[in-house]
Amino acid sequence: MKKKIVVLTGAGISAESGLKTFRDSDGLWEGYEVTEVATPGAWRRDPKLVLEFYNMRRRDVLKAKPNAAHFGLAQLEKDFDVQIITQNIDDLHERAGSTRVLHLHGEIFKMRSERDERLVYDIREDILLGHTAEDGAQLRPNIVWFEEPVPMIGHAVPLVQAADIFIVVGTSLVVYPAAGLVGVAGRGIPKFIVDKKIPDTSGVSNLVAIEQPASVGVLELQKRLGELG
């Protein structure tokens, strides 16, 4: 039986593929305040702007490529039972070869009815005003915006609870409920965090911190995991 590894990934891993994040210098996202483009209020005020913003992001993700960190995590599947839980809305983990990826905050290549969140469709092109779901409602990105519930967290918690090894890569651990998953992992299991700036983890037991960018840190992580046997 392979040991179960659960990896929580965040914006830091995608940043190395050229995708901008809220963690950049001024807290803006490609020049926009969060409240302008990533809240239900923003959608009500100016759906055209929100659609344009996410259309731009979709095009950026289409051009981006997985980096060494994505490939390194995918390679862990040779020796471990690996589950990725990502806060990212891109598909770079899948393109790198990871076979089990849970997206906490939605996916940029999916859209849904603004009225019925169960009506979800694949999308590679732009979403425009007037594009409607089968219920007649406007289509919106299938993204969990700030101030909205995170339905997939209920699926993530038991996965983390069942982990033999828990790993965090490229996340500042400040966005909840995702950040709370660290506290769900078993106290006695090995834990690793890879980030170019390690957040406060003083309350986490059995933790190895690797303060490196994701692409470099995941290589170090692979060595450490090999030493665990």
Q: Closest Cα to residue 75, out of 226, 228, 227, 229?
A: 226
The closest of 78, 229, 92 to 165, measured between CA atoms, is: 229
* Beta bridge partner(s), residue 191: 166, 207
Check 70, 93, 105, 131 and give the catalytic one. 105
Active site residue 105: yes
Residue 67, Cβ density class (10 Å: 0-12 exposed, 13-18 middle, ≥19 buried): buried
Side chain identity at residue 157, one-letter code: V
Evaluate whether 99 touches 121 at the Cβ level (below 8 Å).
no
- Phi/psi-derived region of residue 15, left when phi > 0, alpha when psi is between -120 and 50, beta in every other case: alpha
Helices (H), the chain: 11-15, 34-37, 40-45, 47-63, 68-75, 92-96, 153-161, 181-184, 214-228
Please, are residues 116 and 102 in contact by the beta-carbon 8 Å criterion?
no
Contact 121, 69 (CB under 8 A): no
Helix (H) or strand (E) run with residue 112 in it? strand 106-113
What span, in angstroms and rounded, lies between the C-alpha atoms of 16 and 25? 15
Q: Which residues are catalytic?
A: 105
